Amino acid sequence: MPIHVGFWKLGDTPLPVAFEPMESEGRLEDVLAHDIGVADPNLLLIGRQVPTAHGKFIDLLAIDGDGKLVVLELKKNRTPREVVAQLLDYGSWVRTLEDDDIAGIFERFLQKYMPEHAGASLDDVYCKKFNTNELPEALNEGHELVLVAGELDDSSERIIGYLADEYGVAINAVFFRFFRDGDSEYLSRAWLIDPGEVDAKVEEKREKGQWNGEYYASFGADDHRDWAEARKYGFVSAGGGAWYSRSLGLLEPGGRVWVNVPGGVGYVGVGEVVDSVVPIDEFEVDDGTGKRVPITSLPLKAAKHATLASNADKAEHFVRVRWIHTVPIAEAVREKGLFGNQNSAAKPRAKKWQHTIERLRQRFGVAD
């Protein structure tokens, strides 16, 4: 059945805040065009009302941190069959786009909708957004289709679930509800499928492979998350929201995990998972004297992340790892054809994953 979202003002008695239809889906498009992060913080908007070769216009076109294109189409009072058929048609066109086509779409988007930034290159904007040094070697190696709606009806849910589960189509739905409380307006968001699970569902169906027991982890090295500290103290971590940290729960003690720094950096280590994921408040490390102390007591970048006590929604979470082999970021292993994924942790089933492990074993000198 479709998902329902409610909203209450807390007081002596919880008072429901009335849901109201947004005056137009055009306004919702404006909201998303202004900040695509309202739908998904892992997206960069590169096009709006993008003309296709078939005489139609894509409402919103974005790109994610892996270089995949994401088509977002508003329902706009069309029937589920009509809008899903339109999405599939857009997907058939989007998959043909080359790097130069994508750069051209972005250039025209800036000229029309953000003239103050006209002339900025996709390369520069992408690198700044995803905190990387360069674009992926190849863009658009995959794409995702997203239905955006004010409400998610039974028929839309059935069609999307059928396409994803039975045919491995990378399709999802996100719906927004509009609430008003006096002069204040609120917008809530809910996904039909957790965006972090879409790739896994698609890979599982398309490849029909079995998980080989080897975990993947993405370590978002930046000004606040230091790979050198992770090597020294033995951990991988993620935070800034449950969206990012939840998948660390996949990592089970005793499993082997291969760690990639996303954004085109490459693989930097492999190790054995020692303990299950815990919030930063509960994670202890050796202080150098053999004594276990809370990581938050040390002068580390990792210790400066939000704790459960300070911000439960944003808290950093840690998984202890006993490293088998690591390299500094400057020596990261990057090759065309290696598996990549934005999820903080995954159990890949793609054929590419086995190839990736075989190559990393050779490069890292790690036995089977």
For the chain, the residue count is 368
Provide the pLDDT for residue 154: 81
φ, ψ of residue 133 in degrees (nearest 5):
-90, -20
Check whether 18 has a pLDDT greater than 80: no
- Of the listed ranges 192-196, 297-301, 322-326, the one predicted with least confidence: 192-196
Residue 122 near residue 100 (C-beta atoms within 8 A): no
- Of the listed ranges 178-192, 211-225, 254-268, 325-339, the one predicted with least confidence: 178-192
Instruction: Tell me the average pLDDT of the chain.
Output: 87
Residue 227 carries which side chain, given as an amino acid letter?
A: W
Tell me the average pLDDT across 99-105: 93
Cβ contacts of 261 within 8 Å, gap of 6 or more: 218, 219, 220, 221, 227, 267, 268, 329, 332
Check whether 208 has a pLDDT greater than 70: no
Cβ contacts of 121 within 8 Å, gap of 6 or more: 103
Check whether 332 has a pLDDT greater than 90: yes
pLDDT above 90 as % of the chain: 49
Residue 308: C-alpha distances to residues 192, 284, 305, 312 (Å): 27, 15, 10, 4
Residue 72 near residue 144 (C-beta atoms within 8 A): no
What is the SS3 assignment for 152-204?
A: CCHHHHHHHHHHHHHHCCCEEEEEEEEEEECCEEEEEEEECCCHHHHHHHHHH
Provide the pLDDT for residue 242: 84
Provide the pLDDT for residue 201: 63
DSSP 222: B
Tell me the average pLDDT across 330-342: 87
What's the pLDDT tens digit per position in 280-291? 999 999 988 889
What's the pLDDT tens digit per position in 86-97? 999 999 999 999
Greatest pairwise CA separation for the chain in angstroms: 69
- Separation between Cα atoms, residue 157 and residue 162, nearest integer Å: 8
Tell me the average pLDDT across 53-66: 92
Best mean pLDDT range from 221-225, 269-273, 303-307? 269-273
Tell me the average pLDDT across 91-117: 93
- List domains and CATH numbers for the chain: 15-206 (3.40.1350.10), 209-359 (3.10.590)
Provide the pLDDT for residue 335: 87
Cβ contacts of 330 within 8 Å, gap of 6 or more: none
- Separation between Cα atoms, residue 177 and residue 169, nearest integer Å: 26
Q: At what angle do helices 99-113 and 122-130 cross, to 10 degrees?
A: 90
Confidence band for 337, pLDDT divided at 50, 70 and 90: confident
What's the pLDDT tens digit per position in 155-192? 888 888 888 877 778 899 888 878 877 788 888 888 88
Check whether 1 has a pLDDT greater than 80: no
Cβ contacts of 331 within 8 Å, gap of 6 or more: 268
Provide the pLDDT for residue 49: 95
Provide the pLDDT for residue 4: 63
- Of the listed ranges 70-84, 107-121, 213-227, 248-262, the one predicted with least confidence: 70-84
- Separation between Cα atoms, residue 88 and residue 90, nearest integer Å: 5
